[in-house]
Amino acid sequence: MRRGSKVLGSHIDATTWDEALSRIVKWADQHQSRYVTLCNVHSVVTANQDALFHSVIAGADLALPDGAPVAWSMRKDGFPEQQRLSGPELMCRYLAEAEKIGQSVFFYGSSESTLVRLRDKIKEKFPALNVAGAVSPPFRELSAEEDQAYVDQINQSGAHVVFVSLGCPKQEAWMAAHRGRIRAVMIGVGAAFDYHAGTIQRAPVWMQKAGLEWFHRLCSEPRRLFKRYAVTNSVFVFHSVRHMLLGTSKPKAKSRRR
């Protein structure tokens, strides 16, 4: 049974850190082919405007509130204790648990240089962790043969969890397309590889808690991110204000079976 609410039409799971990690560890232990999405403002706005991406989020085995505004929306919609469960933090917490219980991980995405630094940093922090492999795929559409070769590499590695860093919405679409093919739990973590590798500086904790991490990222990469944030944040704010002023009905918080 899944508890959650709709944020701009997308079901987001209401859960705690312990509950989310417990599900992932259980699925991973059985090598179940599952995928987990980390949903921020960009995710839910994109899903609201793109039916195909909406179906990808709806099909996730776990859709977590990554982004303070998404968590805030859920608090107003019947889950007052809901925390933000961010991708970088989820990755770090799972790696600590995986090291302790002996599960292995695979990293798929980002650049080769970032993956090298990421593995070095992780080795320092989690020396006993089993990193089954890492792949930086080409920044283009893969042929069927290339894609199958990566699938075979991941499966043959025996990884329990595959962290995917291809950027939204590409990583979510990739995970949805590979459920049933990859025998592991896939988790889309966006820029988490860069944060943990140290190639991008994460926002201070006070900005994260205040819901201003997006602003820190915008200041760090203005050319790449200006259009995204100008559009998605404006749409999210518009819908939120419209709901408050006009009393537009929102779907009531509900559970759904999986």
pLDDT value at residue 254? 46
The 10s digit of each residue's pLDDT in 172-184 is 999 999 999 999 9
Average pLDDT in the chain: 86
Give residue 253's pLDDT: 40
Q: What is the mean pLDDT of residues 210-231?
A: 55
Average pLDDT of span 154-164: 98
Measured distance CA(143)–CA(252) in Å, rounded: 43
Q: Give the C-alpha separation, 135 to 113, whole Å.
A: 11
**pLDDT value of position 199:** 85
The confidence band for 28, taking pLDDT boundaries of 50, 70 and 90, is very high
What distances in angstroms separate CA 18 from CA 77, 107, 138, 149, one per listed residue?
22, 23, 35, 35
Q: Please report, as a single letter, which amino acid is at residue 246.
A: L
Per residue in 85-103, pLDDT (tens digit) is 999 999 999 999 999 999 9
pLDDT in tens, 55-88: 999 999 999 999 888 998 899 889 999 999 999 9
* Distance, CA of 110 to CA of 142 (rounded, Å): 15
CA distances from 246 to 45, 72, 79, 250 (A): 20, 19, 22, 12
- In this prediction, residue 52 carries a pLDDT of 97
Rounded to two decimals, the pTM is 0.83
